[in-house]
Each structure stands twice: as C-alpha cells, then as structure tokens.
Amino acid sequence: MSSFTKKEIIATFFRLLEQKPLSKITVKNIVEACGINRNTFYYYYKDIYDLVDDIFNIETYKVTSQNPVHGHWQEGCLQSMHYLVEHSMIIHNVLNSISPETIKRYLFKTAHGLLITLSNNVTEGKYLPEADRNFIADFYSFGFVGIFYDWIRGGMKQEPEKFIELMGRMLNGSIYDVLKRSAVDTKPKQ
C-alpha cells in the first residue's frame, strides 16, 4: 500500500467534512469517493475516529515540529489559528461530532509541544529539571486551551493577530521570566 492512498483517504475525508458533519460521514462514503475498497481503508484505519486521530496528530506535529521563530510562542499560535480559520467549515463539522474533552486534549498537546520548544530555546545552555519544565508547560497550556477553545466555540470571529497581540500583552514577560528564574547555570550536585 502506498502513502499516496493514505493521503488520498485524508484529502477525501477533508472534502467530505467541508460538506457535512463528521457524524454523517461513513467509511462507505470515503471509499466510494476515493475509489478504493473497504479493506484498503481498514489497512490504514480501524474506523473514522482513528482517521480523525491520525489527522490531529499529523497537524499537531506540523505545528510543533517547526520551532517558533526566534523562540516566540506567537508564531506557532498564529500558524495554528490561521489553519483553523482556513478550515473553519471542517472545524465546525468536527466540533459538533467530537466531545469537548477530545478537542481540548488535542489543543493541549499542541500548546504543550509549542511551550516545550519555547522552554528549550529560552533555557538553552542552562539546567531546568524536566519536572519543572513540564509543570511550567502544563500551567500555560491549560490557559491556552481554555482561551483557544472559547475562541473556536465562538466561531473564531476575533482576528488571530489581534487575539495573539492581547495574549502577548499578558504573557510575554511572564513565560520568559518564569523560565529564566527556574533555570540554573549547572545541574545541582546530588
């Protein structure tokens, strides 16, 4: 089986999501639109929700694997928000078919990845215990998830640039200061 087939399944699924809610899409719809048989679909995915999970993981990886420019978290957030706005019909159709907890889990994964990248950039050459690094990323991730989820549920009406500017006013010194105060020059002796 080729990766082309998997990409076609994903592309077809996106086209279908532009037209109807996730809850109304069946494996049969996907395979007929792709021109493949059911076994080919099941070679890659156990069900539609497995496909959705794969797509979220692919998109999360795309966002988190690209280091924020010069260590600024805003670039990753802006990229994510523009992606959501560009695919607003898909997002709307998925939101109405997946539990809020699932959506928040994906948002958390993305925010946490971006904050770990930021943390690594800000504390480069210094020692920050992994538990502290994760706690800081968790703390800010929960805030990001809450505000982003409300923005998405509200129809993504506020422009991403304005949204990020407001967040930046609140957070810019805060995240950097916490990371810098938490990191030390060398690992403490045991």
Pick the closest to residue 119 from 76, 62, 84 (CA basis): 76
Class for domain 3-44, per CATH?
A: mainly alpha
**Structure tokens belonging to residue 84:** 């959501």
* Predicted local confidence at residue 70, as pLDDT: 45
pLDDT average, residue stretch 68-94: 76
Q: What CATH number is given for 48-182 in this structure?
A: 1.10.357.10
More confident residue, 126 or 117: 126
Mean pLDDT of 95-112: 86
pTM of the predicted model as reported, rounded to 2 decimal places: 0.76
Please give the Cα distance from 144 to 146 (Å, whole number).
6
Q: How would residue 110 be classed by pLDDT, with cut points 50, 70 and 90?
A: confident
Ranges of each domain in the chain: 3-44, 48-182
Q: How confident is the model at residue 134 (pLDDT cuts 50, 70, 90)?
A: very high
Residue 26 has pLDDT above 50, yes or no: yes
